[in-house]
Amino acid sequence: MLAAERKMRIVEYVRLHNSSTISTLAGEFGVHEATIRRDLAEIEQEGKLKRTHGGVIVEQWTHDEPSFNERSTQNLEQKMRIGKMAASLVEDGDHIIIDSGTTTQYIARNLVHRSDITVVTNDMNVAAELRDAPRIKVILTGGELYPSSYMLNGMFTEHVLRSLHALKAFIGTPALHPQHGLMHPEAQLVPAKQAMIRAAREIFVVTDDSKIGKPALHTVAPNSAIHTLITGKEALEQDLKLFRDAGITVYTV
């Protein structure tokens, strides 16, 4: 069997069974496990399947984002670590943008005792974290309030962001794909994130490991727009290597 045909049949087999191990595939197709590993690496590069420890699964699309209350309790300890790391990359005197989200909230929490920082945000929770920080200037973008998450979005939000020039933007996401970049399932939330990215000199994506490798319907920005990725130590090294190979600095905490 030619390699191209074997790879096509591997994809069909895994999609039929939802997942498989390397040893199972090696037995199914009568080749060495090393051959299967090479095949899976190429198949993953094509975005057809996703490798795991010792096997492969069908790539899980992000069709919608869980509610704020649900997200606020997921991977909480990891989000706290990510927030602390991201805050350590902010320097006194910086003008920064902090995106709305349950991870970005912990960036703000770790900036409370810092000095001479201007924070622009579309998240009322982020602003509330900084309400007792006398040496930090907080600017809310304005916009339509999403009561379930205290996020501001829409035409007014985008208008303010288009007028800004910040040093750093910290962007959250429900999906980050090695081929398609920063992604989101909800079209109405894409323009504000794109405006944040255009407004900043340096882009930091902050996301827990559960979002790594997932595609969604809309591309917010390609990986070439991202300078730094901060995620949890739980993320698979094989996934992170694809972002490093794209020139992105990756921190795991």
- The answer to whether 47 and 59 are in contact (CB under 8 A) is yes
Burial class (CB in 10 A: 0-12, 13-18, 19+), 113: exposed
Percent of the residues in the chain that have a pLDDT greater than 90, as a whole number: 74
- Mean pLDDT taken over the chain: 92
Provide the pLDDT confidence category of residue 45 given band limits of 50, 70 and 90. Answer: confident
Give the pLDDT of residue 72: 65
How far, in Å, CA of 224 to CA of 230, rounded? 16
Give the pLDDT of residue 202: 98
pLDDT at 186 > cutoff 70: yes
Burial class (CB in 10 A: 0-12, 13-18, 19+), 89: middle
DSSP the chain: --HHHHHHHHHHHHHHHSEEEHHHHHHHHTS-HHHHHHHHHHHHHTTSEEEETTEEEE---B-SPPPHHHHHTTTHHHHHHHHHHHHHT--TT-EEEE-SSTTHHHHHHTTTT--SEEEEESBHHHHHHTTT-TTEEEEE---EEETTTTEEESHHHHHHHHT--EEEEEEE-SEEETTTEEEES-GGGHHHHHHHHHHEEEEEEE--GGGBT--BSEEEE-GGG--EEEE-TTS-HHHHHHHHHTT-EEEE-
User: Whole-structure pTM over 0.75, yes or no?
Assistant: yes
3-58 matches 68-252 in fold: no
- The answer to whether 183 and 215 are in contact (CB under 8 A) is yes
pLDDT at 57 > cutoff 90: no
Give the pLDDT of residue 226: 98
Other CB atoms within 10 Å distance of the CB of residue 38: 14
Give the pLDDT of residue 69: 67
Percent of the residues in the chain that have a pLDDT greater than 70, as a whole number: 94
Write the pLDDT tens digit of every residue in 110-162. 999 999 999 999 999 999 999 999 999 999 999 999 988 899 999 999 999 99
Provide the pLDDT confidence category of residue 221 given band limits of 50, 70 and 90. Answer: very high
Write the pLDDT tens digit of every residue in 63-121. 566 666 677 667 899 999 999 999 999 999 999 999 999 999 999 999 999 999 999 99
Architecture of domain 3-58: Orthogonal Bundle (1.10)
Write the pLDDT tens digit of every residue in 9-35. 998 888 888 889 999 999 999 999 999
How far, in Å, CA of 45 to CA of 29, rounded? 21
Find the mean pLDDT for residues 220-227: 98
Topology of the domain comprising 68-252: Rossmann fold (3.40.50)
Q: What is the dihedral of CA 219, 53, 72, 197, to 10 degrees?
A: -30
Give the pLDDT of residue 58: 77
The residue ranges of every structural domain in the chain are 3-58, 68-252
Give the pLDDT of residue 88: 98
How far, in Å, CA of 213 to CA of 178, rounded? 6
